[in-house]
Structure formats: structure tokens, C-alpha cells
Structure 1
Amino acid sequence: MRHVDPAGTGRAGAQAQPDDHPLPTPGTLPDTSVTDPAVNHHVNPRTDDLAVNPGTDPAVNPGANPGMNPERSSGTNSGVGRAVNPALNPAVDPDMNEVVGRDDLLLVTLDTLRYDVAAELAAQGRLPNLARHLPGGVWERRHAPGSFTYASHQAMFAGFLPTPATPGPHPRLFAARFAGSESTAAGTWVFDTPDLVGGLAKAGYHTACIGGVGFFNRRGALGSVLPGLFAESHWEPGFGVTSPTSFEEQVRRAEQVVAALPAGRRLFLFVNVSALHQPNWFHLPGATKEAGDSRETHAAALEYVDRHIGRLFAAASARRRCFAVVCSDHGTAYGDDGFTGHRIGHEAVWTVPYAHFFLDHGEPTT
């Protein structure tokens, strides 16, 4: 178990002594998380993957590929459902059994981003840093697995990323072992844990979360569920929806997380970007709080994210090649058909932008 140092840097410290945590009240479980209240940086001893099987830890055994499943590598796909599209195009449908254990992984959720706004800005050349990584320079149109942050992320962390908005079945990148699955394909990385985060930890990855919206703030039981899946999690008010500099602060923390990790250790980094979520009026010059948020301020928030996302990509690929998934968890309505907000069944909410791609080692910041 690691300690968080008093300065809040999150670097590993001394082992906790037996009296560091009081004995629990009879009939209750002890709180085994370690917290620095100044920055809300958590290390979760239950999922801290620093002690792993050396035979499958790439840091100890560079030749190990913990993502390989013997059944799947033999091509039988036994017990995990029907194979879909066994002939893979590596540029579009990478074999995740080769990726996991070899590359670092980055999942970025652009919380609340609408597909139509993202597609328009990419087509207009207003997202230069994102667009140069999007396959063909365009976002893929997909359907969200949920209509609000909590539901959508629970699904994504179970392997259900946004689904292509065309008839399927569509092979998934990640999937829990589940008999009868019609979206588990030859290139799907299958895990035997309840969630993807735990599966990657078991495969030797250090898992780190940089939260944004309130479901990641650990300020209550509900806000602790999603970050609690990770070995290391970070949130502070500067990362939240009311901060005009939220994404810059999140990127700075991501750079620190990467720099603190041993070079040989594989990393799964998750960043929930809060900048697009309401309120976002302050990202558009001349907009006012009284006028409120609009489709235009939503677009300005995405341009703000694009200006800084190159630094995040550079950090994620600083140690080795990185496989990145960048997507929205759900959209939001700005008066569409009389609706405002999300957690509703509307086209503006369930249709989201999606992309996955490789970041080469040493990716430039711009």
C-alpha cells in the first residue's frame, strides 16, 4: 500500500504503520483508501497493482503479453461468443490481444460532447490537434451506451464503448468473458474481472484516473464509485465544470502521473474532460453568464480542449507507443425540440463522436 505524501504530490512513500488506521467499529469495514484532502488524490490499496505476478508484468518480464488469452491466440474463440469479422484491418480494427501488454493505453471521455458540433468543427478546420489523429480527419458517428455520465461510464468500464451507428453486430475492443456474446471477436481483448480497469490491472497495468465532472470528485459515496475502480485517482475543484482552465489543470496532472511512473511499467490513463459540460459559456469571448450556455459556447469549449490536447497526447506517448480512445459519453440538448440537458432519449444526446488511433512514441505536443 502506498502513502500520499503531505505535500500532495502523490509520490510513493513509506509503508503505513498498523496504527495509521483506527480499528473499525464492529460490524463495519475499515476504510482502506488513502486520501490527501488538499488535492483529493486517492491510492486504492485494493486495486493498487504495484504487486503483480512477475511472470505477466511487462516491467519484470518484457517478453510477457498478459493480454493474450490462450484460447483466443489459438483462434478457437472458445467460451467468449461468436467471432465477428475475423479478418482485421490493423488501422481500423487493431488486434487488442497484441496491443494490451505492449502499448500504454489512454481513454479520454469528452464529457457531454455532441456529435454534430464535433463533426462541424473538424470539417471547418477548427480542431487541428484532434483532427490530425482522427482516421480520415473525421469523427466516427456512434451511439452512446448511456444518456448521462454515470450510466455511460459504468458501461464503458465494462467494455461497452459507444457503438457504431450502423447495423451490427460490431466487434468490441474490450469485453468481459461472457458466454453468447455476439460482439466478442478475434481481435477483442477478453478480461475475467467485473470491469476493464480491474482486468488491465490484473494484466500488469498501473491504472490512473483524472476526474472532471462530479461523478469523479469523491465528495460522497456516489462520486467515489467510478474513481474507486482505479489504483490512483485525482480530482480537485480546478478540474471541475466551473473552472475556465479545467483541461489545462487536468493535463498538468496527467503529465505528473506519467513522469512519476517507472519507465518499464505499462499505464492505463483515463481522463474525464469536464470543459464541455454546462456551464461552458465562459469559453466563448463576449458570452455572459446571464445569456447562459448555447451550442456556440459548447463549440468554443471544444476548441479550448483542442488547444491543449496535444500535451496530453505527448504525455501519454512519452514512454512508448500508446493506443488512444477519444469519445464522448453522451451529448446534450440546447433547446432541440424543446429539450435542454441530457439524461433523455434524444438524438442530440445518444449520438456521439468517437475515434481510436495509435500515438507514436515521442508524439509532438502540437
Structure 2
Amino acid sequence: MREMNKIVGDSDILWITLDTLRWDVAQDAFWKGELPNISKLMPSTGWEERHSPGSFTYAAHHAFFSGFLPTLAKPGPHPRLFAARFPGSETTAPNTFTFEEATLPEALSKSGYRTHCIGGVGFFNKQTALGSVLPGLFDESEWKPSWGVTSRNSAQLQFERAAEVLAESDAPHFLFINVSAIHQPNCHYLPDCQTDGLESHRAALRYVDSTFPILLDALKRRSRVFGAVFGDHGTAYGEDGFYGHRNGLSSVMNVPYFDFLLENS
């Protein structure tokens, strides 16, 4: 486990949720060499298989922001990297960064971080009261229709904005990006495709990877970055008659995860 008490305060923190990304699709794409850019930050074994705390975006992110990141898909207990302090926690360890506030964005803001949210799917669009809850946890938050689920170049535009944010200040950043491209609809990432499915899901992930150098170049200009890249939940494409998420299928609850520590000279 990483020593988060030595990382927080000395590093930028980057979280990227690849909204709706399935574990099985992500890991197969890794092994087949379809993620040449994201894999530059990944371990040689690829993604970790983890269990999401929620079957859809809103529920999962509430848990994430209080320190309940996806849990390893094997018997635990598994110590957490971040944790809001509460009595009786069995997954808070000496290397866990614990905080008194209800959420990590609030805690990092009080610790001197610039906290910034780049939204993607509708729960981050700030167009309604519901769509404002999660962005409201951050000092700064943004959303544009071109970053949403129907935009074919959403990831490129989100990563371009992320690079701009990181270049604006040398202050420590907590930068959160909710990448929307893999969420339905994703059929537009395959030619002549009219229906979402596993192949278009995979094509959307390849598209995200193709735009990743924009962000990677920006990260290389920061002195030290701790990052976590993970799915918030998966989705079903007809398994057992189910489509979409908000159900308990393994295709929904099993998500990919990796974290990294990038130190630049």
C-alpha cells in the first residue's frame, strides 16, 4: 500500500473515472495492446479487478469522494488510501490519509489544494440541482455539452481543458475528470454502427486512449503526481437479459483500476 500521508501535501492528485468501463473489456484491451498510451502509466499486469461501491455514477462517486474507492475483488480486508474518519473503521491503516471532513475534495481544499472538477456525464452537468451535487464538492467545477455523452470528441476536449488547468498554477492540485466517452451512446465510435454493444464499448476505450497523450504531456510538466484511473461501474449488453446498469451483475460491479506515482525531474 502506498504511504498516502507522505504523498498528500507533496504531490498533485489526479483521479480519472472512466464512466461505465467494464473490467473484462478493459483488461482484454490491455493484453491485446490496444491501450498504448494509458498503459505507459500502468503496471505490467494491467488493470486490477475491483468491486465498485455503486452500480451507477451518482452512488459510486459519493462513496469515492469519502474514500471508498473500488475494492480489490478478493477477500480482504483491504486498507484504503483515503478515509473520512469514523469510529469502527476496519479498513483505515497507518498509511491511509484520514480526514475529518465528509469528503476528500473538502479535506484537500482545507489542506491548500486547488480542487477542480471536469465533468462528463449528466450527474456532473450542473444543469439541475441533482447535477450540481457532486461538482459542488469542489472549489471549481466545469461542464460543457461538448464534454457530455453524445459528443464524439469529448475526451480530447476534457483532456485539453485539464492540461490548461494544470498549467494555470504551481499550487498543488486535486484534479478530477469524469470521462464520458465510454458511457452509452458509444456506437458512434464504430463506422456504420447503430447499436451500442461490447465492440463499440471497446472502440470508445480505444478512442479515450488515443487522446490520452494530451493529458500525459501535461502531467510530465508537474513535479510529482499521484493518480488513480478507474471505472465507476460497468454496464450490461444483454447478459441474462439485462441492459445498462443499476443492477448487481458482475459486468456492472466489476471495474478496472490502477494507480501510479509519477515523479518528474
TM-score by length of 1: 0.71
Among 111, 122, 125, the alignment partner of 1:214 is 122
The Cα offsets for residues 55-85 of structure 1, whole Å up to 9 and x where unpaired, read as xxxxxxxxxxxxxxxxxxxxxxxxxxxxxxx
CA positional deviation for 1:152: 0.1
The Cα offsets for residues 151-193 of structure 1, whole Å up to 9 and x where unpaired, read as 0000000000000001010010000111111100111000110
The Cα offsets for residues 94-133 of structure 1, whole Å up to 9 and x where unpaired, read as 1000000001000000000000000100010111112232
Alpha-carbon contact 2:146-2:153 (below 8 Å) kept: yes
4+ aligned runs moved over 4 Å, structure 1: none
Q: Does 1:356 align with 2:262?
A: no
Between the aligned partners of 2:12 and 2:190, the Cα distance in structure 1 is: 34
Alpha-carbon contact 1:106-1:316 (below 8 Å) kept: no
Between the aligned partners of 2:10 and 2:65, the Cα distance in structure 1 is: 20
Q: Does 1:148 align with 2:56?
A: yes
Quick one: percent identity of the two aligned structures?
55
CA positional deviation for 1:317: 4.0
Between 1 and 2, higher relative CO (CA 8 Å, sep ≥ 6) is seen in 2
Among 101, 104, 116, the alignment partner of 1:193 is 101
Between the aligned partners of 1:215 and 1:208, the Cα distance in structure 2 is: 16
Match of 1:170 in 2: 78
CA positional deviation for 1:242: 0.2
Among 190, 209, 221, the alignment partner of 1:284 is 190
Alpha-carbon contact 2:9-2:111 (below 8 Å) kept: yes
Between the aligned partners of 1:314 and 1:97, the Cα distance in structure 2 is: 26
CA positional deviation for 1:137: 3.8
Between the aligned partners of 1:317 and 1:232, the Cα distance in structure 2 is: 23
Match of 2:206 in 1: 303
Among 317, 334, 341, the alignment partner of 2:244 is 341
Counterparts in 2 of 1:260 and 1:132: CA distance versus 1, 3 Å: closer
Between the aligned partners of 2:160 and 2:144, the Cα distance in structure 1 is: 12
Secondary structure of the structure 2 residue equivalent to 1:106:
strand
Alpha-carbon contact 2:114-2:139 (below 8 Å) kept: yes
Match of 1:118 in 2: 26
Alpha-carbon contact 1:313-1:359 (below 8 Å) kept: no
Match of 1:10 in 2: none
* Amino acid paired to 2:68: F
Match of 1:269 in 2: 175
Between the aligned partners of 1:191 and 1:304, the Cα distance in structure 2 is: 37
Match of 1:245 in 2: 153
* Amino acid paired to 2:255: V
Q: Which sits farther off after the overlay, 298-307 or 133-142?
A: 133-142
How many residues of Structure 1 are paired with residues of Structure 2 in the alignment?
A: 265
CA positional deviation for 1:218: 0.4
The Cα offsets for residues 30-66 of structure 1, whole Å up to 9 and x where unpaired, read as xxxxxxxxxxxxxxxxxxxxxxxxxxxxxxxxxxxxx
CA positional deviation for 1:322: 0.3
Match of 1:316 in 2: 219
Secondary structure of the structure 2 residue equivalent to 1:337:
helix
Match of 1:25 in 2: none
Alpha-carbon contact 2:18-2:230 (below 8 Å) kept: yes
Match of 1:181 in 2: 89
Between the aligned partners of 1:350 and 1:151, the Cα distance in structure 2 is: 12
Report which of the two has the higher share of helix: 2
TM-score by length of 2: 0.98
Alpha-carbon contact 2:125-2:131 (below 8 Å) kept: yes
CA positional deviation for 1:280: 0.4
Between the aligned partners of 2:166 and 2:77, the Cα distance in structure 1 is: 36
**Which structure would you say has the larger Rg?**
1
CA positional deviation for 1:258: 1.3
Alpha-carbon contact 2:156-2:214 (below 8 Å) kept: no
CA positional deviation for 1:342: 0.1
Match of 1:26 in 2: none
Secondary structure of the structure 1 residue equivalent to 2:44:
helix
CA positional deviation for 1:310: 2.3
* Amino acid paired to 1:200: L
Match of 2:232 in 1: 329
Counterparts in 2 of 1:231 and 1:317: CA distance versus 1, 3 Å: farther
Between the aligned partners of 1:104 and 1:122, the Cα distance in structure 2 is: 26
Alpha-carbon contact 1:171-1:185 (below 8 Å) kept: yes
CA positional deviation for 1:313: 2.6
Between the aligned partners of 1:337 and 1:312, the Cα distance in structure 2 is: 38
